[in-house]
Structure 1
Amino acid sequence: MNLLYENLNDIKLVFRNFLKWFVLSLISGIGVGTVITLFLKSLQYATNVRENNEWMLYLLPFGGALVSYLYFKYGKDSSKGNNLIIERINEGKGHIPFRMAPLVFFGTFITHLFGGSAGREGTGVQIGASICARIGEILKLNKLDLTIIITSGVSSGFGVVFGTPIAGTIFGLEVSSIGKMRYEAIIPCLISSYIGNYIATLFNIQHSHYHMVDVSSKDPVIFYKVILCAILFGLVSKVFAEFTHFLKKVFSDKIQNTSVKSFIGGIIIIILILLIGNRMYLGLSLELLAKSFESPVIPYAFIIKLLLTSITLATGFQGGEVTPLFVIGATLGNFLANIVGLPISFLAGIGMIGVFCGGTKTPLASFVMGLEIFGGGNIKYIFVACVISYVFSGKSGIYTSQKNITIE
């Protein structure tokens, strides 16, 4: 009887906790999903306006200076971006200001409106975390529950941005610490991510789709070719992360005024674009990403995108790194395809996921994202690419506040 009584108590406790987190995650998912939906629609608008008015690129220095001034005047810790969120999740202390959401929303909109080379996942994560932190404060959640709901905001924000709710769930659990998963937040992350994605579908948010041709899983030569390419994907993600961190330090040391730093960064980007003579590297570069799956692109396209994105982020413009990592990886895979004798769409897809994995240090989330985007036809190669790229990217990642459990 005692055993039965204990089991009944356990079931009641589990049910009570599930019900609590279902309600909380429903609230956070609706809130984050609604705001991210508005954010994605605003980015599409900004991109369309910029592409139809090429002269707007010349306002990039002024837009960057304005955003940096707003962060300097009102942002406080918001300027730390994703690293502030990761620190809060890891250490369980500190404050994520709600002002982070409107600041990063506006800052990313301006970056894309005038042509900065940046992504959107960083914005989604920051919006999700800041909204959920505010919800937790209003509801007066305890320290652990507040950390959990913030983590669910990360999952929801990431999942809604890319339309990948399962990858979003795992990303929130995996991103804060290398070598550790936060399973205590798995239910909130799952529910919040799915609810957020459902909200996005209600508003007809359309996510990009790419076709990756299936290749034989029985040919050992293909297996070894993928390993070789995955090593390069890992090394390139390492170069991107370290080069971006290096530029941030250089610009910060040399130029103390953040608005001036962004103004100069905007000028540098304009000069580079005029020299390159092609504007497909601006913004998200989704056109270039799609082309990488269809036909050969110039061999050094991944270098150009890497350089422009590093300069954009290092000089104070807002956005994310993941979509640029997708573009860098896909164009690199496109370049390697003819060299190693593999289909373009296949290696572009492997490169897209591989470089993303090496840059974010999230192998499980990357693997699942590959399956959500491309299906399971190449599951073996997607998994191998994630593992190899993760290893060869070393300690370098785009998030400097990630806690590395594997070397402690």
Structure 2
Amino acid sequence: MSQRKVLKNKLSAVFRRRLSRFADSTRHRLAHIDALPLMTLLGLLSGLLAAAVIVLFRLAIDLPSESFFSGKQFEDLPASARFALPLIGAVIIGLFLQALTPSHRQLSVAHVLSRLHHFQGRMPGANIIVQFIGGCLAQITGQSLGREGPAVHLGAGMASQLGQFLKLPNNSLRILVGCGVASAIAASFDTPIAGVIFAMEVVLMEYTISGFIPVILASVAGAAISKAVFAQTLSFAGLEGQLVSLWELPYIALGGIAIALAAGLFIKLQLLTLQMKSLPIVLKTSAAGLITGALAIFWPQIMGNGYDTILSSANGELGLQLLIALVFAKIIASAVSAGAGISGGVIGPVMVIGACLGAVLGQLGATFSPVGSTSTELYVLMGATAMMAAVLNAPLAALLAVLELSQSPDIIFPAMLMIVVACLATRQWFCHDGIFLAQLRTQGLPIETSPSQQVLSRAGVRSVMSGRCQSCSTKIDIEEARLLLKPKPNWLVLDSKRPLVMKAADLSRYLEEAEEEISEIDLLAIPGSRLQACPIDQRSNLFEAKTSMIEGEAEALIVTKQSRWQTVTIGVITQEDINNFYG
């Protein structure tokens, strides 16, 4: 072998070792709760990746739709096409999902929440592909669902894949998922602020500075990518509405009750459909497509996202009877379709339902109001906001989403009143704290969060472990003992039937107090305390560590990492360490 080749191999080996040490050092820093600069950079990367996928998703929907329908809206299609298109699409989606395993059919926002809270944000790549294909089919064939749910899943999934590829600790993976969600919302609807609040309020379910900064940057990246690719963005700009008189406030509160009733009906109907688990999924999706197609014959406005319906209702183009019919038709079609498993989101549909109901309230108010005319546009925007807030249990995200879409700050004051009434009434009367959590409970995957869980999930085990440890067998000679103690470890990890750890100080004290020369030392017999232990992966967070201790009936954990073909011990963590962190 030539000297040049030998030198090249040596340099390559040195580079790999340094890269490995750098990666290990970076993961160690990310395990700490204050690794904000690194998390901000990773948030930007995940935001760019999520936005790129959302751009592809939107193009995969828009280009075929423009080719097949020549720029026509679903309302412009003949009645036969409006009936056949959702039915055929639902059958195709059902056959596609039927060929998959049940785990691969888990899609949309509820799936993101389940993976985040039960699997520390590790999302499978296969479900992302299924969501992309199913979401495109649903939108192209005019299913009565939105693209928000698929967008959230795609954004969160790509961010999770990035974190898994880099082998990041689980506490960092959670924030990356939030970054992907915020970027996806911003890239889909040009609503960066709403993307941030949705990620924090609905997905992460907490507000922290360490989470806010990366999520904000990811949302900015998503909005920037979207603006660079798409000239026109979804917007309700031009819709304006002002409160005519403070005497309207009681009427607005009454409107919040009407919104709550519609929200409760939507949630109940979707959960009822979701409970039909024994039926084949192709049968459920086909039935949902049949219902949507039948309703679309008479009310084609229910097909697709329906954002043009919001504009039409605000402009007074839809009569009172048609608006009432659209409210019930959209509730039935969207709730059944989502419950049947068709790949689509519910945010868009509930905004349409709320807007139509708001238009009803506006027209009735204009007719019977004793204080003069009311603004139909204001009631449309308030209805869309309150319905989204009540169904999702996300009042702040809903308010900011409609505010960004309409660019009308005048809605804030009255909308806040309607939101509060709608959310309170929905929670009290229907006992639901959001459609996504209700879906998970129906599927047997409830999410229970506590303050301690939230705090412990923000830090990795590497942030509190003692890295000064040595592994050894239970019986050693005097020379081995001295070598073990030379680097001054805190802990000895004993290779026994069940892993044990003991303080190195106990061995040191035993050697100092021994009155005669010792040939062999039994570490299970010398004076000292030994803690029952079980292994835990270095990527785990402190909540997982606490859970592992309880389930394994352990007093300590041995932190390990995979190094090529072997498992290496890198630290020890005790219950006291976790308590000190939480305290």
Q: Which one scores higher on RCO, CA 8 angstroms, separation ≥ 6?
A: 1
Find out whether 1:398 has 2:435 as its counterpart.
Answer: yes
Contact 2:94/2:286, CA 8 A, preserved across alignment: no
1:343 CA drift (Å): 1.3
User: Which of 28, 31, 41 pairs up with 1:23?
Assistant: 41
Distance 1:18 1:182 in 2: 11
Q: Return closer, same or farther for 1:150/1:328 CA change in 2, 3 Å cut-off.
A: same
CA deviations 1:274-326 (Å, max 9, x no partner) are 3x2x3221111222121011014423221111111122222221110011011
Task: Please state whether the residue corresponding to 2:414 is helix, strand or coil.
Answer: helix
Q: Return closer, same or farther for 1:370/1:282 CA change in 2, 3 Å cut-off.
A: closer
Q: 1:244-323 counterparts in 2 under 5 A?
A: 244-250=270-276, 252-253=277-278, 255=279, 257-274=280-297, 276=298, 278-295=299-316, 296-297=318-319, 298-300=322-324, 301-323=326-348
CA deviations 1:105-124 (Å, max 9, x no partner) are 21121112222111111001
Distance 2:243 2:235 in 1: 22
Find out whether 1:326 has 2:351 as its counterpart.
Answer: yes
The TM-score normalised by the length of structure 1 is 0.87
Q: 1:96-245 counterparts in 2 under 5 A?
A: 96-176=123-203, 180-181=206-207, 184-210=210-236, 211-216=238-243, 219-245=245-271
Contact 2:257/2:425, CA 8 A, preserved across alignment: yes
The TM-score normalised by the length of structure 2 is 0.62
Contact 1:176/1:403, CA 8 A, preserved across alignment: no
- The number of aligned residues is 389
Contact 2:295/2:329, CA 8 A, preserved across alignment: no
CA deviations 1:195-236 (Å, max 9, x no partner) are 01100111025223223333247x321222221112221221
User: What does residue 353 of structure 1 align with?
Assistant: 385
Contact 1:361/1:390, CA 8 A, preserved across alignment: yes
1:187 CA drift (Å): 1.5
Task: Please state whether the residue corresponding to 2:334 is helix, strand or coil.
Answer: helix
Task: Please state whether the residue corresponding to 2:341 is helix, strand or coil.
Answer: coil
1:15 CA drift (Å): 12
Task: Please state whether the residue corresponding to 1:206 is helix, strand or coil.
Answer: coil
Task: Please state whether the residue corresponding to 1:212 is helix, strand or coil.
Answer: coil
User: What does residue 80 of structure 1 align with?
Assistant: 106
1:360 CA drift (Å): 0.7
Letter aligned with residue 330 of structure 2? K
Q: Return closer, same or farther for 1:131/1:94 CA change in 2, 3 Å cut-off.
A: closer
User: What does residue 536 of structure 2 align with?
Assistant: none
User: Which of 364, 367, 382 pairs up with 2:415?
Assistant: 382
User: What does residue 39 of structure 1 align with?
Assistant: 57
Contact 2:116/2:122, CA 8 A, preserved across alignment: no
Unpaired runs of at least 5, structure 2: 1-28, 367-373, 441-445, 451-583
Distance 1:43 1:290 in 2: 22
Q: Return closer, same or farther for 1:96/1:227 CA change in 2, 3 Å cut-off.
A: same
CA deviations 1:217-262 (Å, max 9, x no partner) are 7x32122222111222122112111111112223x34x2x212322
CA deviations 1:26-69 (Å, max 9, x no partner) are 21111111111222233334544354765375254343233234
Report the structure, 1 or 2, having the larger strand content: 2
CA deviations 1:158-193 (Å, max 9, x no partner) are 222221101110101110377x44554211211111
Task: Please state whether the residue corresponding to 1:238 is helix, strand or coil.
Answer: helix
Q: Return closer, same or farther for 1:46/1:220 CA change in 2, 3 Å cut-off.
A: same
Distance 1:177 1:198 in 2: 23
Question: Could you say what the CA RMSD is over the residues aligned between the two structures, in angstroms?
Answer: 2.7
Larger Rg: 2
Task: Please state whether the residue corresponding to 1:140 is helix, strand or coil.
Answer: coil
Letter aligned with residue 384 of structure 1? L
